[in-house]
Structure 1
Amino acid sequence: MSEKDRVQYKFMIPTDLKARIENAAHDHRRSLSGEIIHALEEAYPDPLSKEAELRLAAGAAMMLKPVKPNSEFTEQYDLVLAYIVERFGLDDAQQAERLINEVWRDKATRQSILIDQVHGWIENTLTPWIIKVSQEPSPLGVHPDDLAKT
């Protein structure tokens, strides 16, 4: 990060919070500023473009795609499909699978997706979505399990 990409911002924090941040910075071998920036980046991740999100969702789907029906990761795969249906305005899971296959056919896309990025997308995007839709009705009026089975 260059100097022109940085902004100095002075703020007040409680003494005990500063001590906790200093301890964490020491444990993670970061400066105090580095630890604060890391915590803020975790709390406020840079939003993805829809195209980038689709690539990561496709990567997650391909990682979780079951080898045979009702095998390991079937439920997680169905949730990824349900997310894609809702997020990208598709009609059903079959459309989501066609879109995933279309994205995945591109060799450059397959090679550009890193496992760590997919895991980050699952943790930061898919998991909060699953929690949200399991607690309240989907905007489509159905549960994600029902979407994935269509």
Structure 2
Amino acid sequence: MAQIGVLYRLVATITCFVCLGFNVGMCSESDALIKTYVSSSLQSNDGFVKSAKLKVHKISGSEWDSLVIKSELPVMVLFTAQWCGPCRVISPMLDKLASGFTDRLKFYTLDVDQDSDIAERYFVRSLPTTIIFKDGNKVARVTGVDLEKISELVKQFV
């Protein structure tokens, strides 16, 4: 389920038709069904609809050095793409981890279609790929949807 602020005072709860509110990791607040429903049910959504705030922020290649390489904290980056279904499985888990380790580890996503040069630099060939950076260096990597291993790495590097 996702809560979407409408006109800053009214909050509408939209239930995804796939999971019917039983959030078992298959849907997220960025689910395409929710976005489609909200955008089609409003005459204009120019600034009146804002989605729930996620803990994991999307970054671009221009922010890479300042947010990842120069970070004083360890950083976990999920390399993803909009078309990647398995990436949507990991996103809700990263949001939960990010809220639990706020001041000890930073969490970001990077779209490989928009910033292919960064993905090439770290030899990201399949999605999702999760890489942990510490002091600007790659220290750990998980390819695919291995939620248990990602959780272990987070605990190891905090």
TM over 0.5: no
- Which entry has the higher C-alpha Rg, 1 or 2? 1
TM-score range with shorter-chain normalisation? under 0.3
TM-score by length of 1: 0.26
More strand per residue: 1 or 2?
2
More helix per residue: 1 or 2?
1
